[in-house]
């Protein structure tokens, strides 16, 4: 697939495999970026590396989901088994990517863990094992060997009337998938709620003072961005914002 010249920074997760520490990103996000004609640039989660040269060159930042969770010490809580597993190298990397993207006005799309990272980076907190809270749905992935079933669209989310995301998607409700145990608890002061689940779980946010595209979504639009209308529109809007940023920078 050819690209349209867009370069999108994607943070690496770290994993131990075959006696090595690997820095990698899931293919579903990379494939979704390729569909919009962008080249993903995986940023390794290395300590002490200057990210400015990379952020000065890319046209957008995509924060992916992950099996790991943001370490609770980043939002002032003691760790428990319910907060695990962790990837503290990724925590450090994405905090810097968020700061760098927002300070530059780089388009930012934060998905699942990325959505939670965005909230924490801007001063919010997370709740864990939310399925145990009275009145909450079970937002965890269904146990199934097939990925299409795990990522199946499962419940509606209501978009905030007159909000940025509702305007962007041209609808007031979308059907989403759900694969998380944690969720936004205290919303960061710089964020606005853009969508909520029927049980009140914050499903999407935007950065109030961002000059352009800066959204977080709790669901996984990348998985169905080739076939689901709202998922495709979200990624196309991200691509449009990245092209506009590139052209303005040029």
Tell me the catalytic residues. Answer: 112, 220, 222
**Alpha-carbon distance 163 to 38, whole Å?**
27
The SS3 assignment for 82 reads helix
**Alpha-carbon distance 138 to 59, whole Å?**
36
The SS3 assignment for 88 reads helix
Give 178's contacts (C-beta < 8 A, 6+ positions apart): 137, 139, 140, 141, 154, 155, 197, 218, 219
Give 26's contacts (C-beta < 8 A, 6+ positions apart): 13, 64, 65, 66
Contact 106, 59 (CB under 8 A): yes
The verdict on whether omega for the bond into residue 151 sits within 30 degrees of 0, i.e. cis, is no
Pairing of strands 183-184, 191-196: unpaired
Instruction: Tell me which residue of 62, 39, 9, 28 sits closest to 237, measured CA to CA.
Output: 62
Residue 229 token pair: 């209308």
DSSP 8-state secondary structure symbol assigned to residue 86:
B
Contact 203, 179 (CB under 8 A): no
């Amino acid at each position: 697939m050819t690209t349209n010249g867009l370069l999108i920074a994607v943070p690496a997760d770290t994993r131990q495999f075959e006696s090595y520490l690997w820095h990698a990103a899931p293919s579903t996000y990379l494939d979704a970026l390729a569909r919009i004609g962008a080249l993903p640039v995986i940023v390794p989660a290395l300590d002490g590396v200057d990210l400015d040269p990379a952020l000065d060159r890319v046209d957008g930042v995509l924060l992916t989901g992950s099996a790991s969770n943001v370490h609770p010490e980043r939002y002032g809580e003691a760790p428990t088994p319910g907060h695990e597993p962790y990837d503290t190298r990724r925590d450090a990397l994405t905090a810097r990517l968020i700061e760098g993207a927002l300070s530059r006005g780089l388009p930012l799309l934060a998905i699942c863990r990325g959505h939670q990272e965005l909230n924490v980076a801007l001063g919010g907190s997370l709740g864990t094992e939310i399925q145990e809270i009275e009145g909450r749905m079970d937002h965890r992935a269904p146990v199934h060997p097939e990925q299409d079933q795990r990522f199946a669209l499962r419940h509606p989310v209501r978009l905030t009337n007159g909000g940025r995301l509702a305007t962007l998607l041209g609808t007031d409700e979308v059907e989403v998938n759900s694969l998380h145990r944690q969720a936004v608890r205290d919303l960061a002061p710089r964020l606005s709620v853009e969508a909520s689940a029927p049980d009140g779980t914050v499903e999407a946010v935007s950065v109030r003072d961002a000059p352009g595209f800066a959204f977080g979504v709790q669901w996984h639009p990348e998985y169905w961005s080739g076939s689901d209308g709202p998922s495709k529109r979200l990624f196309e809007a991200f691509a449009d914002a990245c092209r506009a940023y590139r052209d303005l920078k040029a």
